[in-house]
């Protein structure tokens, strides 16, 4: 293959945003967990507005929810690549999928802890 990979990617920079948005839309359309995380993000943003989070609290909340959705997208992409490579059961394929799912789980737990630390005192005092 003599053609350089970068030569094949001659599309405008703005087009990369289209591809990214299409990826988000595909994830929301096809992945239950991404829909759940997205719905929870809306709930958390509404709750944050209700309890009047300060900018540092918003920063932590947005890092938590955005990171969870982003990791779920990466997990889904990895699962698709593994499925594309092999249709047969393989222990390494299972490990790759399990590890990607574990990364999402760990970050989701972190997000819940962030939510508890930030929202619980505010909800108790209201």
User: Of 7, 26, 57, 72, which one is the catalytic site residue?
Assistant: 72
Assign residue 67 the CATH number of its domain: 1.10.287.3610
Q: Is the dihedral of CA 38, 39, 41, 42 positive or negative?
A: positive
Distance CA 40, CA 46 (A): 10
Residue 40, both tokens: 């929870």
* 72 annotated as ligand-binding: yes
pTM of the model: 0.84
Q: Is 98 among the annotated ligand-binding positions?
A: yes
Query: Considering its fold, how many domains does the chain have in total?
Result: 1
- Residue ranges making up the domain that contains 101: 12-125
Q: Is 5 annotated as a binding residue?
A: no
Asked if the model's pLDDT at residue 1 lies above 50, the reply is: no
Q: How confident is the model at residue 126 (pLDDT cuts 50, 70, 90)?
A: confident
- DSSP, collapsed to helix, strand or coil, labels residue 82 as helix
In a domain, 2, yes or no: no
Task: Note if 87 is an active site residue.
Answer: no
């Amino acid at each position: 293959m003599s053609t350089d990979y970068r030569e094949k990617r001659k599309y405008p920079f703005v087009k990369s945003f289209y591809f990214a948005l299409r990826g988000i839309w595909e994830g929301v359309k096809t992945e239950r967990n991404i829909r759940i995380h997205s719905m929870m993000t809306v709930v958390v943003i509404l709750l944050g507005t209700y309890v009047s989070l300060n900018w540092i609290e918003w920063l932590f909340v947005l890092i938590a929810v955005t990171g969870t959705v982003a990791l779920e997208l990466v997990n889904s992409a990895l699962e698709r690549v593994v499925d594309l490579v092999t249709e047969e059961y393989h222990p390494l394929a299972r490990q790759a999928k399990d590890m990607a799912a574990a990364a999402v789980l760990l970050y989701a737990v972190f997000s819940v802890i962030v939510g508890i630390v930030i929202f619980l005192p505010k909800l108790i005092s209201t």
